[in-house]
Chains A and B, each alone.
Chain A
Amino acid sequence: MNPLMLDNIIKQYAGHTAVDHLSLEVEEGEIYGLLGANGAGKTTTMRMVLGLIHPDGGSIRYHGQPYRTELQSMMGYLPEERGLYPKVKISDQMLYLAQLRGMKAADARQSLDYWLERFDAMEYREKRIEELSKGNQQKMGFVAAVIHRPKILILDEAFSGLDPVNVEMLKQVVLELRKEGTAILFSTHRMEHVEELCRHITVLRRSKPVLQGDLNTIKNSYPREKVVLRTSGQVQGLETIEGVTEVTRQDNGRYLIRIEQEQAAQHILQMAMSQGAVDQFEIKEPTLNEIFIKVVGSSHE
């Protein structure tokens, strides 16, 4: 039984549908990417998973069972609008939140020390949240979400607003939790993080899942439409090849060529080789970013 299973869930608010027939499954030790433009229904989905609101249709199962209050101690949540008590000492509020999640005081203290050590934030233990920088506040929010070692972790925009060093640190922690078997539902706008961390994704567009499945399968199903070519000299007549839609030459002498059919790539290579030495030739896989814009972007037209 997978830790988290959403089956055809529907949520309607006063006439408009916030989540429309969404199904997904998160395995143990998996980071599942939930993507979508702002207002696509990600937060509503997460709130339903957390049991804050009930779906109008469909069902959510946790290890095969419906929602029950005992789950509260098994779930961790880092909300998008992260917040802690601004005027309360970090150790105080962390221990409080851990206790609310059902931890014993002694265990909570131990766990807090571990996580503060892990995030290199031991010196903030007795400080207040309002004294911390935004990035550090976010780290504390993360600590609050994982202090009780949840089995199901929900991260809404976990990495936004962090510098690269801290992003790396948090990423390592997320990977560590995955290794320990935590099921993680993860939303972000940074596609490179998804490519790096997630195996399965769902892209929501206007409340509906429009793209779903294994990340590699999705990428392979999208045609490779970009060729990178670097030659010593200029290559004439690239535009004339059938299937080429756009040729741009970058300042460093590289050509970026958009193609409609993959066969066109071979013609490009032949033409380039006939005109001189080829330093680099690559048919680029579509990035998730491009796929996302393609799938979601059309909705803004």
Chain B
Amino acid sequence: MNKLGAVIGFTYRNKTKTKAFRWTTLTLLLLLVIGLNVPYFIQLFSGQSDKDLVRIGIASGSYTEVAEQIRESMGKQPAKPAAGDSNSSSGAGMALNGSEQTRIEWQTKPADPAQLGKQIEDDKLDGYLLLQKPAAGDTFPSITYVSKKNNLTVQSMLQAAAQTAKVRSVTTGQLTEAQLDEISTPVSLTRIALDDMDRPDGQPSQLTLENYILVYLLIILFFISLTMTGNMIASEITAEKSSRVMEILITSVSPLTQMFGKIIGIFLVGLTQMGLYAAVFLVHLMLPYYQQVLAQFDIHIGNLSWEVAVLGLIYYVLGYFLYSTLYAAVGSIVSRTEDLGQAVSLLTVLTLAAFYIGIFSMTNPDSLLMKISSYIPFFSPTTAIVRIGLGNMPWWELTISIVILLIAIFVFGWLSAKIYRTGVLMYGKRPSWKEIRKAMKAYKI
């Protein structure tokens, strides 16, 4: 146990001491800080500029009343137009729309199209609404937005405003103001999983935007840290082999201690790195101005499910140990660092597969592929978490999945330790599986 601690400590200290490690960590931290603050900076710098100001004129002809209504309802429009996920502002109001914001400035006086066209040419206007006599039978005028630029946000805002105006004009006098308001509010449609119907409040248990983001982050975290630390483990072991310090090491510590010491040491290195990023992230989440930014996206940290977070971490750690023992085994059979890339390619493919199955099934978490994958130990760290977070995974399936994963860790850990024990004594070209088996027999391992 003492020796295991020594190996862990030595691995950790040496890895974190290297210049390469410090610089990459620092650079990534800096990028993260910048990335997290981009929305804020854009708001700060472009908030008052005219870049997102859209100036619109109106050629109302004989429909001045309709034009007035469009303008009015544009001003009342909530910060959620028909353009799906993108938020935008209206009228004089201002709201953040991710990284952009749109303000609309109306030209109060109606004018005739030729005059407005000239103003657009002169760059005094961005576009104008042309109200014309409708097709036979209709009373509401046909509306055209004339503009040089194709601005979808503005168009959808206008569309919504015009729709409201139409309802008003068609139902003139028959409805109260409150009724009109209700009509203009978009219908909200949400999905609830069948199982969640049993809940007293009928609320979806976990399917929230926050959990979606959490699952997404967990998968990416798993993939990135696994490729990074996995390769670190393999190359550390190969380096020890090629510098021949391995011969001294294997005579002082048992290979199992050595291998797991290395794996845990590098795991802690990765954890330190991830912890730093997480800390920066959390600090941002706490900052008051950032809360506002999140609120614009309708994200509330309180909606995060602890269940998903905890299970995600469990799967992350288990998955890490499964893969890293294999990385260690591969590192031990290679004698030179140059040959390593080729040797780990199979593992890279496995991690990539786990990553893509997870990411691409996030919209369809209960497919057969996902059900099967969540029992396969190499894929379950990503797929099971998608099912837990975004789909349905009964507790017994979860238990089976984790038990299979644990068994796989023991089996592959045992196998890797054997390969490691043999591999570290074999120098020269990369041995084939047959040669390794032969060597295992010869060494009586």
Interface centre among A51, A82, A83, A84 (most CB of B within 10 A): A83
Q: Choose one: A13, A77, A145; the contact of B442 (CB below 8 Å).
A: A13
Output the least CB separation between B406 and chain A (Å): 27
Per the bound structure, the CA–CA distance linking A100 and B2 in Å amounts to: 8
Contact A53 B245 (CB under 8 A): no
Contact A79 B244 (CB under 8 A): yes
Among all A-B residue pairs, the 8 with the closest Cβ atoms:
A83-B244, A100-B252, A79-B247, A54-B444, A99-B6, A83-B243, A81-B244, A96-B10
List 7 additional contacts besides A82-B244, A83-B247; criterion CB under 8 Å: A14-B442, A73-B252, A83-B243, A85-B14, A86-B243, A99-B6, A100-B252
Contact A83 B10 (CB under 8 A): no
Output the least CB separation between B235 and chain A (Å): 13
Number of residues of chain B lying within 8 A (CB) of chain A: 26
- In the complex, chain A residues 76-112 whose Cβ is within 8 Å of any chain B Cβ: 77, 79, 81-88, 92-93, 96-97, 99-102
- In the complex, chain B residues 1-49 whose Cβ is within 8 Å of any chain A Cβ: 2-3, 6-7, 10, 13-14, 18
Check A100/B243 contact, CB under 8 A, given A53-B425, A72-B251: no
Contact A77 B247 (CB under 8 A): yes
Output the least CB separation between A223 and chain B (Å): 41
| In the complex, B271 has a CB within 8 A of chain A | no
Per the bound structure, the CA–CA distance linking A144 and B252 in Å amounts to: 11
| In the complex, B250 has a CB within 8 A of chain A | yes
With a cutoff of 8 Å between Cβ atoms, the chain A residues found around residue B250 in the complex are 52
With a cutoff of 8 Å between Cβ atoms, the chain A residues found around residue B18 in the complex are 87
| In the complex, B248 has a CB within 8 A of chain A | yes
Contact A52 B251 (CB under 8 A): yes
| In the complex, A240 has a CB within 8 A of chain B | no
Contact B251 A50 (CB under 8 A): yes
A-B contacts counted at CB < 8 A amount to 72
Per the bound structure, the CA–CA distance linking A51 and B6 in Å amounts to: 22
| In the complex, A75 has a CB within 8 A of chain B | yes
Contact A100 B244 (CB under 8 A): no
| In the complex, B253 has a CB within 8 A of chain A | yes
| In the complex, A69 has a CB within 8 A of chain B | yes
With a cutoff of 8 Å between Cβ atoms, the chain A residues found around residue B183 in the complex are none
Closest to B435 in A: A14
Q: Choose one: A73, A84, A96, A97; the contact of B243 (CB below 8 Å).
A: A84
Contact A75 B251 (CB under 8 A): yes
Contact B442 A101 (CB under 8 A): no
| In the complex, B443 has a CB within 8 A of chain A | yes
With a cutoff of 8 Å between Cβ atoms, the chain B residues found around residue A99 in the complex are 2-3, 6
Closest to A129 in B: B243
Per the bound structure, the CA–CA distance linking A81 and B248 in Å amounts to: 10
- In the complex, chain B residues 287-312 whose Cβ is within 8 Å of any chain A Cβ: none
Output the least CB separation between A285 and chain B (Å): 37
| In the complex, A12 has a CB within 8 A of chain B | yes
Per the bound structure, the CA–CA distance linking A232 and B6 in Å amounts to: 71
With a cutoff of 8 Å between Cβ atoms, the chain B residues found around residue A52 in the complex are 250-251, 425, 443
With a cutoff of 8 Å between Cβ atoms, the chain A residues found around residue B3 in the complex are 99-100, 102
Output the least CB separation between A121 and chain B (Å): 18
With a cutoff of 8 Å between Cβ atoms, the chain B residues found around residue A77 in the complex are 247-248, 251
Interface centre among B18, B251, B253 (most CB of A within 10 A): B251
Check A100/B6 contact, CB under 8 A, given A54-B443, A69-B254, A88-B14: yes
Interface size band for A? 20 to 34
Which positions in B face A, CB cutoff 8 Å? 2-3, 6-7, 10, 13-14, 18, 240, 243-254, 425, 438, 442-444
Contact B7 A100 (CB under 8 A): yes
Q: Choose one: B7, B243, B252; the contact of A101 (CB below 8 Å).
A: B252
Contact B248 A79 (CB under 8 A): yes
Output the least CB separation between B368 and chain A (Å): 47
Per the bound structure, the CA–CA distance linking A79 and B6 in Å amounts to: 22
Closest to B425 in A: A52
Check A85/B245 contact, CB under 8 A, given A13-B442, A97-B252, A100-B7: yes
Contact A72 B443 (CB under 8 A): no
Contact A100 B253 (CB under 8 A): yes
Closest to A84 in B: B245
With a cutoff of 8 Å between Cβ atoms, the chain A residues found around residue B7 in the complex are 100
Check A72/B247 contact, CB under 8 A, given A53-B425, A99-B3: no
Per the bound structure, the CA–CA distance linking A232 and B2 in Å amounts to: 73
Check A12/B245 contact, CB under 8 A, given A52-B251, A96-B6, A99-B6: no
Per the bound structure, the CA–CA distance linking A82 and B247 in Å amounts to: 8
With a cutoff of 8 Å between Cβ atoms, the chain A residues found around residue B442 in the complex are 12-14, 53
Q: Choose one: A14, A81, A100; the contact of B249 (CB below 8 Å).
A: A100
Per the bound structure, the CA–CA distance linking A102 and B10 in Å amounts to: 15
With a cutoff of 8 Å between Cβ atoms, the chain B residues found around residue A85 in the complex are 14, 240, 243, 245
With a cutoff of 8 Å between Cβ atoms, the chain A residues found around residue B243 in the complex are 83-86
Closest to B247 in A: A79
Output the least CB separation between B331 and chain A (Å): 15
Contact B443 A81 (CB under 8 A): no
Q: Choose one: A53, A75, A93; the contact of B443 (CB below 8 Å).
A: A53
Could you pull out 22 A-B pairs where Cβ atoms are within 8 angstroms? A12-B442, A13-B442, A47-B425, A51-B251, A52-B425, A72-B252, A73-B252, A75-B251, A77-B251, A83-B244, A83-B248, A84-B243, A85-B14, A85-B240, A85-B243, A87-B18, A88-B14, A92-B13, A100-B3, A100-B249, A102-B2, A145-B248
Closest to B14 in A: A88
With a cutoff of 8 Å between Cβ atoms, the chain A residues found around residue B443 in the complex are 52-54
Output the least CB separation between A141 and chain B (Å): 8
Closest to B10 in A: A96
With a cutoff of 8 Å between Cβ atoms, the chain A residues found around residue B10 in the complex are 92, 96
Interface centre among A52, A73, A86 (most CB of B within 10 A): A52
With a cutoff of 8 Å between Cβ atoms, the chain B residues found around residue A51 in the complex are 251
Contact A81 B247 (CB under 8 A): yes
Output the least CB separation between A138 and chain B (Å): 12
Per the bound structure, the CA–CA distance linking A145 and B7 in Å amounts to: 18
